[in-house]
């Protein structure tokens, strides 16, 4: 539920719960996008220094 | 292996390893699909005919599904805890098993969510818990954290797929896998945060039931002691489950996949945590017996109804707790593979028993003078739909083992 939904009740626990949920989701989306953009830039720049063993 | 005798899908195998013939692979997949289909039928019965096809009732709203769910989640803790030890504590040797721990974690958490999908009866309304969240419920926290942690596990599993020999030839996927590996400490930290709270909150659910003296515990701030005991028990048994599944995989593959020193590190850590858990659990039990007795609920009242006699307490803490702890703490015993595996089996069984007690037995003990004890035994629908996810997990593990580079030491341990 988003804070602008009409069912939203402005109470501390709701901000903590939903805030934590969205913080985690946003973090994961940022990490995925960061990796994808870096990989794309490496690809178009033909940069390949990824041969180290993970 | 020369190209003529190599399986026709050998181009997809990790570099320098051998796998069985494709026809044998298909044969074992087909074998697993038999019981899997029985589970699918049971699941469709639950969804189509409603939950009265099970033996769940108002006395036992938490039955086999919830106990199995909590048990599987505890076993899956090996993924987050191994990730924590590898990426945050920085134990270098664990890089050789962390990939497999992730695969096992994905399987466990997918199973846990699948079982919940059957249990809620109407999975199309599963999203209600996110939109109409009851923010005062520990179960909401569990639902949020399990869902998010499953996403984290999928992200940790993703680079393994990208490192498939053929997929990795594509520059974009190669780079993506590399950068995801670079981001893994951050992802592991998010996973640790989420796992800490959902493992704990699963313990918090029985711990806050103040109308159920068998389960209720005092605690620290809003968290009952069971919150912390569940976290500790999960991280004590998760590595043992990783060892157990690795051993089963080695037996099926007919070769060693991970070096002994890596297994030994996990077993030693697991043993120490299990001892700490047993000490705290014993203190908790003694304190709970004293408090409940003063409140008019003597210990005998909790164990008066068969099959939940005193043997439950002795088995959980003694046979399935103390014995594996002694084995796991003893370096000589750990070196003996058979004894180590027995300890892992006992430890993992103990966690299932603990979850069964805290969910099923806790609600079964009568608390009102007019209450009567009613026994519960799951029926075939519950068993089949639960075991379905075990077979499904085996299929995922078979596919991962065949096509993905999950064991970095395999080539070294099995030179061709």
List chain B domain ranges: 12-366+377-413
**B199 vs A53 pLDDT, higher one:** B199
What's residue A50's pLDDT? 62
Across B26-51, average pLDDT:
93
> In the prediction, which pLDDT does B2 show?
56
Mean pLDDT taken over chain B: 91
Confidence grade of residue B330 (pLDDT, cut at 50, 70, 90): very high
Residue A46 confidence class, pLDDT cut points 50, 70, 90: confident
**Mean pLDDT along residues B196-222:** 87
Beta strands in B196-306 (DSSP E): 219-220, 223-224
**Using CA atoms, how far apart are residues B97 and B81, in angstroms rounded to an integer?**
12
Residue A17, pLDDT > 60, answer: yes
For the residues B112-124, what does the mean pLDDT come to? Answer: 89
Domain B12-366+377-413: CATH class, spelled out: mainly alpha
What is the structure's pLDDT at B210? 84
Quote the ipTM score. Answer: 0.88
Q: Give me the torsion for CA of B191, B192, B194, B197, rounded to 10°.
A: 160
Is the pLDDT at B4 greater than 80? The verdict is no
How much is the mean pLDDT over chain A?
85
- Does A17 sit within 8 Å of B148, measured CB to CB? no
Q: What is the pLDDT of residue B309?
A: 86
Q: What is the mean pLDDT of residues B391-414?
A: 94
**Residue B355 contacts residue B76 (beta carbons within 8 Å):** no
For residue A52, pLDDT over 60 is answered with no
Gap between the Cα atoms of B257 and B262, Å rounded: 11
Q: How confident is the model at residue B302 (pLDDT cuts 50, 70, 90)?
A: confident
Interface of A with B (CB under 8 A): 1, 7, 11, 13-14, 16-18, 20-21, 24-25, 27-28, 31-32, 34-36, 38-40, 42-43, 48, 50, 53-54
* In the predicted structure, residue A51 carries a pLDDT above the cut 70: no
Q: How confident is the model at residue B304 (pLDDT cuts 50, 70, 90)?
A: confident
Taking CB atoms and an 8 Å cutoff, what residues of chain B touch A39? 172-176, 178-179
pLDDT at B362: 86
pTM: 0.92
Confidence of residue B107 (pLDDT cuts 50, 70, 90): very high
Q: How many CA atoms lie within 13 A of B39 on its CB side?
A: 20
Residue A54 reports pLDDT greater than 60: no
pLDDT at A53 over 70: no
Distance set, CA B217 to CA A30, B94, B197, B227 (Å): 40, 36, 18, 10
Contacts of A50 in chain B (CB under 8 A): 174-175, 177-178
C-alpha–C-alpha distance, residues B82 and B89, integer Å: 10
Residues found in chain A: 54
The answer, yes or no, to whether residue B348 has pLDDT greater than 80, is yes
Tell which residue, A13, A5, A12, A36, has the closest CA to residue B137.
A13
């Amino acid at each position: 539920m988003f804070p602008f939904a009409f069912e939203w009740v402005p109470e501390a626990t709701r901000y903590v719960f939903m805030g934590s949920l969205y913080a985690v989701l946003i973090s994961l989306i940022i990490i995925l996008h960061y990796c994808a953009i870096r990989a794309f830039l490496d690809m178009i720049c033909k940069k390949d220094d990824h041969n180290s063993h993970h | 292996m020369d190209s003529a005798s190599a399986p026709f899908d050998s181009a997809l195998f990790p570099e320098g390893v051998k796998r069985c013939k494709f026809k044998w692979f298909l044969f074992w997949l087909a074998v697993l699909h038999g019981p899997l289909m029985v589970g699918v039928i049971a699941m469709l019965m639950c969804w189509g005919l409603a939950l009265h096809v099970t033996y769940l009732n108002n006395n036992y709203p938490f039955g086999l599904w919830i106990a199995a769910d909590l048990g599987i989640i505890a076993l899956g803790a090996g993924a987050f805890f191994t990730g924590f030890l590898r990426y945050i504590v920085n134990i270098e040797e664990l890089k050789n098993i962390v990939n497999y721990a992730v695969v096992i974690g994905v399987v466990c958490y997918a199973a846990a969510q699948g079982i919940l999908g059957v249990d809620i009866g109407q999975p199309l309304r599963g999203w209600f818990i996110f939109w109409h969240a009851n923010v005062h419920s520990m179960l909401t926290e569990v639902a949020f954290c399990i869902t998010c942690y499953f996403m984290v596990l999928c992200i940790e599993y993703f680079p393994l797929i990208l490192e498939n020999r053929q997929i990795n030839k594509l520059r974009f996927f190669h780079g993506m896998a590399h950068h995801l590996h670079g981001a893994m400490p951050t992802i592991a930290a998010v996973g640790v945060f989420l796992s800490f709270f959902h493992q704990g909150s699963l313990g918090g659910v029985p711990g806050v039931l103040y109308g159920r003296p068998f389960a209720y515990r005092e605690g620290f701030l809003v968290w009952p002691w069971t919150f912390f005991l569940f976290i500790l028990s999960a991280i004590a048994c998760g590595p043992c489950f990783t060892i157990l599944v690795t051993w089963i995989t080695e037996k099926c593959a007919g070769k060693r996949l991970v070096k002994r020193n890596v297994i030994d590190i996990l077993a030693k850590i697991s043993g120490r945590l299990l001892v700490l858990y047993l000490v705290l659990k014993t203190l908790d039990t003694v304190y709970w017996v004293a408090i409940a007795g003063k409140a008019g609920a003597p210990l005998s009242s909790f164990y008066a109804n068969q099959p939940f006699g005193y043997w439950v307490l002795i088995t959980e803490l003694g046979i399935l707790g103390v014995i594996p702890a002694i084995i796991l703490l003893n370096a000589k015993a750990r070196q003996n593979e058979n004894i180590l595996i027995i300890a892992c089996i006992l430890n993992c069984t103990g966690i299932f028993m603990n979850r069964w007690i805290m969910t099923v037995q806790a609600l079964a003990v009568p608390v009102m003078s007019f209450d009567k004890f009613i026994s519960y035994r799951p029926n075939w629908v519950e068993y089949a739909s639960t075991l379905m996810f075990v077979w499904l997990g085996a299929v995922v593990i078979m596919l991962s083992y065949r096509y993905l580079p999950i064991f970095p030491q395999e080539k070294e341990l099995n030179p061709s």
